[in-house]
Amino acid sequence: MTTTKRITAVVLTAAAALAGPGAITAAAATTDARPAAIGTTAHDRPMREVARQVLAAGAPGYVARIDDGHRVATTVAGVADIATRRPITARDQFEVGSNTKTFMATLALQLVDRGRLELSAPVSRYLPGVVPNGRNITVRMLLNHTSGLFSYTADPEFFRTMEQDPQHVSTERELLDVAFRHEPNFAPGTSWSYSNTNYTLIGMILQKLTGRTLPDLVEHRIARPLGLRHTYFADPRATNTGPGYAHGYAVKFSGERPVHTDTSSWPIGGWGGAAGAVISTQDDLSRFFAAVLKGKLFSDRQLRQMKTTVDSPESFGIAGAYGLGLIRIESPCGTVWGHGGDTMGHHSTAVASADGRRTAVSDTTAEPGDAEPNAGVTRYYEVAVAAESVTICEMLDKPVPAAVWQALRGAKK
């Protein structure tokens, strides 16, 4: 692994990231908003400390929502827009990044229930001639990342090219061309490697089998049935980036002060696509993951399929295993299920208890954009990992281990 990849691997959801490191050019901007929490629950004090540390690490804004099965505690800190200084709110929409994969897996399993898709069928049955060695790669392998296909976002030129033309809207064919320029990471089914290319292909299969677009499928088969009024698939951009929308920022830490670039107008649907283009809110994302774990969107049989996992390597950065668009996470306070997502300007996580009765969702409106690792990037990732551990422990009503607090506060062990 390169030095940059080693740094990235320590983030709880880094392997679920869409975004990769890259040089971002912008005028310097800093945040000075003080954390403020909504609510007076037992989670208030620890989450205030989380918010304080997240902002101190360079993020303009932070939101978290914890439902411990008895009450909901919401924390907000900082600003949603550096330019206007508008405070971030618990209702703001944001890019959920690779949490989108759970949406895509849900749509796929709905088709399995309808007898229109087979998990054990080769990709070539649905996309003939599209995927090299597609006869030996199954739909399941795409969903659980055992296909061996190279991830287009791992191409060293991908994000450099994006920086040169951030408004370019890539087609699915363009993304696949980037991926297929590289040899597979391994033979299908013989190992595990996180690849956004897998979900580009899942999105293509969904559209071909249904004759409907991904925005339409998300709206009619997930958002509308669950009453998710603020969730949609960006095609290719977020349609509301004014009040009520949390702007995302690529942050460079290499200078004397963090430099923030607003990426909220960049077409997340034009490069993340089926791997990461959903826009949502804390409440909606919580309701969605609770519904997934409760089996409300597909049969119990498909929930068992989704929760059938394969081991992921230590380099993934998450202690646990990967199912079908769902991660089993072995946190310091217990086992939870969920996903995470990183775009060019957001770092989010969504988890739930196995029965879906407890949920925790958070979003940090920043993503490191440095070409090379440095102290600021390292500190940002340390805080990100610790913050997610705190939210999970609070969700499970378990005491936060001292080591987690030490990491959050940057204390020497």
Given a contact cutoff of 8 angstroms between Cβ atoms, the answer to whether 246 and 63 are in contact is: yes
The token pair that represents 218 in the structure block: 């998300």
CB 185 within 8 Å of CB 149: yes
Q: Judge whether 359 and 35 are in contact, CB under 8 Å.
A: no
CB 164 within 8 A of CB 25: no
Q: Which two tokens stand for residue 377?
A: 């990037």
Take residue 165 and report the two structure tokens written for it: 């033309």
- Strand boundaries in 54-209, DSSP class E: 61-67, 72-81, 86-87, 94-95
Local structure of 97: helix, strand or coil:
helix
Catalytic annotation on 312? Answer: no
- From the list 98, 170, 193, 348, the catalytic residue is 98
Q: How many Å apart are CA 378 and CA 368, to the nearest integer?
A: 10
Query: Do the beta carbons of residue 49 and residue 61 sit within 8 Å?
Result: no
| Residue type, position 7, single letter | I
**Which sequence positions are flagged as catalytic?**
98
